Structure 1
């Protein structure tokens, strides 16, 4: 699962340091902030699907998707401990700080991976379990072990891992992939690059120290600004298209128009800035864009959920 929102709260500070691991350290190993957005988007995918699971089955599905997200987080922290140790915002994580041993993180990640995949398949259907297994593999191996350290397109390709949860939720309910699931996937997939590149603009030094080939480090901030605008333009039609499908309606269309208008304005403001201007105000515009990007994604999926509720009462949809 992608590290959506990982910068929202610093992972360093008083209380972090070598010592015996506590319960909170093992919770942190699972990246609970990332997991919360994974759970939310998966829940939306499940609830807006045309087939409705029994509440117990739905709860089980979301629980095992969450465990899969946690497994991905643990495997990511195990492999990236060397990078995390030199980045200011991650050096307080359980593994680089020495509170959780690498072998423990690996064992937890592998165990939760197996449990989550098997149990999701048993609770819902084999296709949902297989899709969760692929998502964990994609995040832990394709993104974490390969793309992240190899190419500045790491976020573009690796963003697929964070885009799968609503599709998994949809498949858990229906047993197949529909156009609506593809568009929810595409919404997160296209949103991820401008979201993370905005973050990279104001924490470039962290990625430089860790020698992670983020676009800001390999091509510079100006190129990154160009890419943010380009991907934001490409993103804009996706939620508008989703609003025209069975999961959409007047509410989702209105939300898509407003949010994408603001997002495009924000991307344009970032694009026209130079480094002298950005450094002078402490990257204020970039930080606001990053913060808004979190609200952007949450509100889109909240709109899908609200539309489903209105449709249930005969007031939503087309």
Structure 2
């Protein structure tokens, strides 16, 4: 486990259901569930509503299990960071074994259920996503390289791919493009956050990009990823997989993302008392961006299907 020295932790108390729920990182899980649902709804073909609900439930439970394992492993790191020190483990409201077992139970249950209800391809990719986040990103990449979030971004990009497979039973270019969109969206989204909490990462020895490469390099990389992301989001339209509803939405949203990224990439740091810096604006917009982009994908598919 991590070698960062934890802050003093009080004797563990009996954990409440809220603490177990907090281990699943519900805010992050919301975006995971939504993109998985959009992948399912935008896929060609039909799936029984019960099976569709089961697939999305498995994605949600697996994401929660992976998050719990992440918190179990990083309890000492979380204790040293201002924004995470009140989580159940560093705050002493839960013992590590309970958190670990909870994460394993959720992860295994989700994969087994997905295999039995949907199929082994969807279950295999779901298992890969858990392993990717809980081990490749959390244990291996995050404490070792500033490229942690770049490579680790794949963990959060699997849900729409899994949702698509739940309907079609196979992988085509379109769900791969959805995977790549989230994969390239993740670095500018997360680095925008890292820019205004970099002191936390520095204090616990996590080599996030702003800590290792500096603010200037991180800002330039945010802009670079935004430049590449825009044409990638338009590819489904250009290749004929979607219609104008998605295409024009992707163009408008992408230009907004690019404009905010340019403001971050080309600016000088403002005073610390600036309540809403460009980094915070980009971070908040990036969440809205992904929700609306994938939502328009579904709207476009429903409109196209209705007009067929």
TM-score range, shorter chain: over 0.9
> What residue number does 1:19 align with?
13
Where in structure 1 do 4 or more consecutive aligned residues deviate above 4 Å? none
**Which of 298, 301, 308 is matched with 1:308 structurally?**
301
Other-structure match for 1:3: none
The equivalent residue for 2:6 is none
1:142 equivalent in alignment to 2:136? yes
CA distance in 2, matches of 1:257, 1:68: 32
Question: How many angstroms does 1:64 deviate by?
Answer: 1.0
In structure 2, what is the equivalent of residue 281 of structure 1? 274
Match of 2:107 among 100, 113, 119: 113
Cα distance, 1:250 vs structure 2: 0.5
Q: What are the superposed Cα offsets for residues 237-282 of structure 1, whole Å, 9 maximum, x if unpaired? A: 111002234552111111111111111111111112112x354635
Instruction: Give 1:32's match in structure 2, choosing from 26, 32, 47.
Output: 26
Displacement of 1:58 in angstroms is 0.4
Asked if 1 retains the 8 angstrom alpha-carbon contact of 2:36 and 2:162, the reply is: yes
TM-score for both structures, normalised by structure 1: 0.91
Report the TM-score, using the length of structure 2 for normalisation: 0.94
Aligned partner of residue 161 in structure 2, secondary structure: helix
For 2:137 and 2:278, the matched residues in 1 are separated by 29
Structure 2 gaps of 5+ residues are: 1-9
Distance 1:107 1:280, change over 3 A: closer
Maintained 8 Å contact 1:198/1:287: yes
Counterpart in 2 of 1:4?
none
Distance in 1, matches of 2:290 and 2:208, equals 22
Residue 194 in structure 1 maps to residue 188 in structure 2: yes
Report the secondary structure of 1:236's partner residue: helix
Q: Distance in 2 between matches of 1:132 and 1:295?
A: 25
- Structure-2 separation of matches of 1:165 and 1:225: 28
After superposition, the Cα gap between the structure-2 partners of 1:247 and 1:48, relative to the gap in structure 1 and judged at 3 Å, is: farther
Distance 1:247 1:134 in 2: 27
Aligned alpha-carbon RMSD (Å): 1.6
Distance 1:97 1:291 in 2: 27
Distance 2:125 2:16 in 1: 32
Q: In the alignment, which residue of structure 2 is the partner of 1:153?
A: 147
